[in-house]
Structure 1
């Protein structure tokens, strides 16, 4: 069992670096289709022109019985909070929520919800959650009054179908 975990862990580490998994790992745990990379997954969600604050992570999803990955990073941009929040609202097809209330939308066989938690506070916060059958993404857009940059905390989970 230790060798199996080590081999699968090594395969996931190689995937994070953009290197295809070894054939042995695929037969043991059906590696994800294609060459999945952290930056490849992030590119779908990264705000244009933003930069990572402290790198990014990609790891297994946490359940050895389910082949999956989880990815996280914090992005920053000098763009105003409202512009960044509007970018993600448009991307996800949500409407402007009332302050302190959530809204939801249907998207690609999944659901998107958004919550605004800024009213009467010195910080602007908008949370986007996109759930699909085999993936979930959370984006927390925030900016403190007087701060020079808007932050986007990104967390993504993807489960893969195991092929026989």
Structure 2
């Protein structure tokens, strides 16, 4: 009987750690089942689960599908190191439901620099997917390797040749 009490106390503490880490950090890494790498996503914590919005002009949700599982890793807000890892079940929230409305209210507060702040809820209902990632089972062991991954393919680039006149502008000596 004492063993059951200890296990439930540990489960309670694990859930509390996950909740506190998710509330403090605005970024987590999600690795959908069957995918080789984890991807960073911004998120919010709502009603006992992580909620994310993506697609339709928001962050990509590659590999996250309703009914699937994903491995989540949360970081420490102050040190930015891995704090806790766990498995979550993915659920798609339907627009207009109370669960969707509550999740979207939390996400709106976390969305920075939205181009359409006044109508963002309508756009998310039309174009995006809102997913709920509910923790399941015990905490996972933190990985010991770096978990580095190549950037996602994109037509956008920041590497361009330096303009010929730039060194002269930056390093010219001022005459007095």
TM-score (norm 1): 0.34
TM-score (norm 2): 0.32
| Structure with max Cα Rg | 2
**More helix by proportion, 1 or 2?**
2
